[in-house]
Structure 1
Amino acid sequence: MKSKTGDLVLVHAYKHSGKLYRSWEKVSVFEETEDYLILINEEVLITEVNGRKWKTNEPAIWFFYKQGWYNIICMFKERGINYYCNLASPYIFEEGTVKYIDYDLDFKVFNDYSYKILDLKEFNRNRMAWNYSVEIVDKVWECVDEIKKMIKERAKPFNHEYTSDIWEQYQNLKNKN
């Protein structure tokens, strides 16, 4: 079943072991197509596997892909737009919940498009502990290169104008309701 703009959904991130490790409540659907899903985070409650709960600090747009092995969060901070990219399985949507497997590696991309790759030790530790297949490891590294290229080329969604335009469209929809 396809979601509609304004629907509230859950997001569940799993580890390769199959265990849920983080969930987001009441994330708003902005747009769903055959290829991607765009969600809006505004003061979303996040629950960690250890029970710790916290709310998102800034509004954000979250892009999920049906084929891409990553999802990208565009955060609107005081100093501009930053991006956080999770290397992860393509998402599935079932029973009002967006689900994906997190493969540990992350990109933190700053407003000036400089970036850091995070959690390499965690990736290597989990790769061994949970026996990631050669195909998964290759896919993750292929996506690292793909994301670097997207950042360099300012490809969507790593494009401030594009993400700002989506945010403006969302605000206009919200103000009409």
Structure 2
Amino acid sequence: MESLKKGDLVLVHAYKHNGTLYRSWEHSIVLENDEDNLILVNEEVIVTELNGRKWKTSEPAIWFFSKKDWYNVICMFKQWGINYYCNMASPHIVEENTIKYIDYDLDVKVFNDNSFRILDLKDFNRNRIAWSYSSEIIEKIWSQIEVLKERIKEQDGIFSHSKVKEYWNQYEKELKPASKKVDKE
């Protein structure tokens, strides 16, 4: 496995269980890489969809990839506060400067007030049948949703607005070009 370091530019590829690349992000910046997490910054990142459509992220974000959990979390700085988008996904791997993971359809959207909603249950049910998700994968995903719910309730770690702002401030001080600095206080 490659060792990514602070400031590296990376691609992120999300695959479906059948091996299809369905979304990619260009030029995410490595903020931190330790034994527990890989943390990226997305700012005006180009996203390419399976159908070839491209779009640019509209708000800055901190993206957490746990090295043991079956989810990754995008913390998006919106005008009215921080929202979190939790992708239920396999732990990531790194190959050729590309972070790769399997997206397992279910998502948890967390709002600035820490209320949340589980999304894409129909996609999950359709794909678990079509692609024969094992019972171990299904159990893992649902158990990880329970972990996420508890972390959200406790405002633990990445679900602490102040902690996410600390990461953003670290990025601004250490990596962001002077011409792009934006206050996230």
The verdict on a shared fold, with TM-score over 0.5 as the criterion, is: yes
Q: Which amino acid aligns with 2:167?
A: I
1:45 shift after superposition: 0.1
Give 1:41-120 correspondences, 5 Å limit: 41-120=42-121
Q: Can you list the C-alpha shifts for 1:59-103, whole angstroms capped at 9, x where unaligned?
A: 000000111000000000110011000000000011100000000
Q: How far apart are the structure 2 equivalents of 1:19 and 1:30?
A: 28
Specify the SS of the correspondent of 1:157.
Answer: helix
Q: Can you list the C-alpha shifts for 1:156-175, whole angstroms capped at 9, x where unaligned?
A: 10000100011011101135
1:176 shift after superposition: 7.6
Specify the SS of the correspondent of 1:28.
Answer: strand
Alignment-derived partner of residue 39 in structure 1? 40
Q: Can you list the C-alpha shifts for 1:119-149, whole angstroms capped at 9, x where unaligned?
A: 0000000000000000000000001101000
* TM-score, with structure 1 as normaliser: 0.98
Stretches of 4+ aligned residues off by more than 4 angstroms? none
* Structure 1 gaps, min length 5: none
Q: How far apart are the structure 2 equivalents of 1:29 and 1:175?
A: 12
**Count of residues in correspondence between the two structures:** 177
Identical amino acids, percent of aligned pairs: 62
1:48 shift after superposition: 0.3
User: CA separation of 1:175/1:70 partners in 2, compared to 1, >3 Å: closer, same or farther?
Assistant: closer
Alignment-derived partner of residue 181 in structure 2? none
Alignment-derived partner of residue 151 in structure 1? 152
Alignment-derived partner of residue 141 in structure 1? 142
* Between 165-174 and 67-76, the greater mean CA deviation after superposition: 165-174
Specify the SS of the correspondent of 2:59.
Answer: coil
